[in-house]
Structure 1
Amino acid sequence: MEAKGLVKSFVNGNNKLKVLDGIDINLEEGKIVTIMGKS
């Protein structure tokens, strides 16, 4: 699977936190993938 330009944001009150900004990813069949970072 291939995905391009992924964007993800969270809103908390008046603040918007962009956690993904234009990410491209290629995933191989049968692989498990996670995206991790600070909470």
Structure 2
Amino acid sequence: MTSTHIHPIETAHATLVSYDSVTTVVDPDGNLRLQEI
């Protein structure tokens, strides 16, 4: 394993952070949804 390896969770987190006013939520059916703050 190299130090340049990117973990999927870290990548997803970085992607979510790029959306300043939008957050992801999970509805009762288990689907991911985008919701503005």
Greater share of helix residues, 1 or 2? Answer: 2
Confirm or deny a common fold (TM above 0.5). Answer: no
TM (norm. structure 1) is 0.24
TM (norm. structure 2) is 0.25
Bigger relative contact order, structure 1 or 2 (CA pairs below 8 A, ≥6 apart): 1
